[in-house]
Structures are given as C-alpha cells and as structure tokens.
Amino acid sequence: MALRLIFLGPPGVGKGTQAKLLAADREIPHISTGDILRAEAAAGSELGRQAKEYMHKGELVPDELVVAMVAQRLARPDCRAGYLLDGFPRTMAQATALEARLAERNEDVDRVLYFSAPDEVLVRRLSGRRTCPECGAGYHVEAMPPETDGVCDKCGAKLVQRKDDMPETIKNRLEVYKAQTQALIDHYKTAGSLIEIDATGAVDEIAEAARRSLET
Ligand code: AP5
C-alpha cells in the first residue's frame, strides 16, 4: 500500500537527516522542496533564479511557485508507491493545495511527523552544518564531522556551508517558521494525523522513534 508522509518542523531540527533514513527504509522517494529549489538555483533555471532571492534572505518562496513545483514532482511515476514530503507544506495555502490534489485522487496523507527541539539546539545544528555540493551528503562540524576536516567522506569533494546558515539568516528563518509554518501543527493535530517526535537526541534514537510512530 502507498505510504504518504509529511515531515514538519523548524529549520535545522534534523528533518532532512531523518527523511533520508526513513525514505530509504520504506523505499519511497524523499521529496525535499529545499533540495529541489537549491538544485534549480544551481542549474540557473528561471524558477531557481526567482527562488534564490527569497532563500538567501531566509524568506519563503511564493506559494504558487512551490505548489506548481511539487505538483510536477508528485506526478512522476515513482510517487505511485507513496512519498515523503520534507519541508512541504509550509503555509496554510500549500497545505490546502496539497489536500485538494489528494482529494481529487481519493488519496490521503498517512502521517505527519512533527520534529521538535528548542531554538538553541536548532541554532547549533544550523551553524555547524556542512554539505557536499557534489553528492549531497550532510555533516555537522561537532555532531557528525567528516573523517578529514572539510572533505566529503563519500566522494572527496570540498564541503560547503549553506548561505542561509549564516547567523542573521538563521534568525530570520526561525521567525518566518514561527509566523508562517507553526500554524500547520494545529491544523494537522486537528486532522488527527500528527505525531510529535522529540528531536533533541541522537540521530539513531530519533530514527527509531520515527520508525515506531508508523506502526501505531
Ligand atoms: P529547507 O532546505 O527545507 O530548509 P529548512 O526547513 O530550514 O530545514 P533545513 O534543511 O535547514 O534543516 P533540517 O531540519 O532538514 O535539518 P538537517 O537534517 O539538515 O529550505 C530552505 C529554504 O528553501 C527556505 O528557507 C525557503 O526559502 C525555501 N523553501 C523550501 N521549502 C519551501 C516551501 N515549502 N515553501 C516556500 N519556501 C520553501 O540537520 C541540520 C544539521 O544538524 C546538520 O548538520 C545535521 O548533520 C545535524 N543533525 C541532524 N540531526 C542531528 C542530531 N540528532 N543530533 C545532532 N546533529 C544533528
């Protein structure tokens, strides 16, 4: 049976790290709107060019652009077996658009996993994040350092720090999350599909809690 999941939570809580693990475990595509937008920006597409301005400031990319982009991705054949949406929806307008699409197809979201952690944990995780621009592997300078400082263990490329992981932009991203995304927690709580996961612990403990939450 198809499994459709949403990962919700503040910037830096570890959604992407957990999404990669669970999507691989359940053999469903991991659809991260942040990753798709960064790939579009790197490719220099029209969407990427428009998105970049918002992303660098820590603002949300306009709903109509993101909704169209996700609709295109969900139309691909690999989504028939389900999918894990990471970082989408992020506004009520995006949630409404997703619900309309699901209703048209008589489909439903099985679970919304809401990952939570205090702001100081988020800031520490975001400030120390490093990523590989070649293979997409993720690291943290303290919690998950590469074997050789600044070099990807998997492909040997030089690791980079995301532009939106600078202190001022982190501050704005946390404010934008509180103003525009936090309302979705109540929305999905009311719908009965929300499961909160404490994301302050170690990666494997959180992964285990996420796996278990699908068994209930
Ligand atoms: P996006 O890329 O989605 O960023 P985000 O939601 O802010 O989330 P992050 O990717 O920063 O964090 P994460 O929770 O995935 O944490 P991670 O696993 O990497 O979006 C970027 C931008 O794109 C947005 O600001 C917006 O402009 C635009 N955008 C995207 N989607 C949009 C949408 N739907 N609508 C409009 N605009 C949109 O972990 C963080 C760090 O912590 C890593 O270094 C990791 O190694 C480390 N870590 C993870 N888990 C642990 C742990 N348990 N213990 C210690 N360290 C850990």
Q: Which atom of ligand 1 is nearest to the CA of 55?
A: 27
Longest dimension (CA), the chain: 50
Nearest CA, atom 27, ligand 1 = 55
d(CA 166, CA 169): 6
d(CA 26, CA 3): 8
Give the Å distance between the CA of 106 and the centre of ligand 1: 30
Instruction: List, as own/partner pairs, every contact residues 171-174 make where C-beta atoms lie below 8 angstroms and the sequence separation is at least 24, other chains included.
Output: 171/58, 172/57, 172/58, 172/59, 173/11, 173/58, 173/126, 174/10, 174/11, 174/119, 174/122, 174/123
d(CA 21, CA 33): 17
- What is the pLDDT tens value at each position of the chain, 216 positions in all? 899 999 999 999 999 999 999 999 999 999 999 999 999 999 999 999 999 999 999 999 999 999 999 999 999 999 999 999 999 999 999 999 999 999 999 999 999 999 999 999 999 999 999 999 999 899 999 999 999 999 999 999 999 999 999 999 999 999 999 999 999 999 999 998 899 999 999 999 999 999 999 987
Mutate to test the pocket of ligand 1, among 125, 174, 178 (most ligand atoms within 8 A of CB): 125
Provide CB contacts within 8 A for 117, sequence distance 6+: 9, 10, 13, 14, 125, 198, 199, 200
- pLDDT at position 179: 97
Task: Indicate if ligand 1 lies below 6 Å from the C-beta of 14.
Answer: yes
Catalytic residue (one of 26, 101, 124, 162)? 162
Instruction: Give domain limits for the chain.
Output: 3-118+180-213
Nearest CA, atom 8, ligand 1 = 11
Beta strand ranges found along the chain (DSSP E): 3-8, 30-32, 82-86, 111-116, 129-131, 138-140, 194-198
Q: Which atom of ligand 1 is nearest to the CA of 70?
A: 34
Give the Å distance between the CA of 11 and the centre of ligand 1: 5
Domain covering 3-118+180-213, topology: Rossmann fold (3.40.50)
Give the Å distance between the CA of 177 and the centre of ligand 1: 11
Q: E strand or H helix at 96, and its extent?
A: helix 92-104
Give the Å distance between the CA of 113 and the centre of ligand 1: 15
Catalytic residue (one of 90, 111, 125, 130)? 90
- pLDDT at position 1: 82
- pLDDT at position 216: 75
Q: Which atom of ligand 1 is nearest to the CA of 33?
A: 31
Task: Indicate if ligand 1 lies below 6 Å from the C-beta of 55.
Answer: yes
Give the C-alpha distances (Å, rounded to integers) separating 12 from 33, 106, 209, 211.
15, 33, 18, 20
Active site residue 129: yes
Q: Which atom of ligand 1 is nearest to the CA of 206?
A: 53
| Bridge partners for 160 per DSSP | 131
Angle, alpha carbons 78-80-82 (nearest 5°): 90
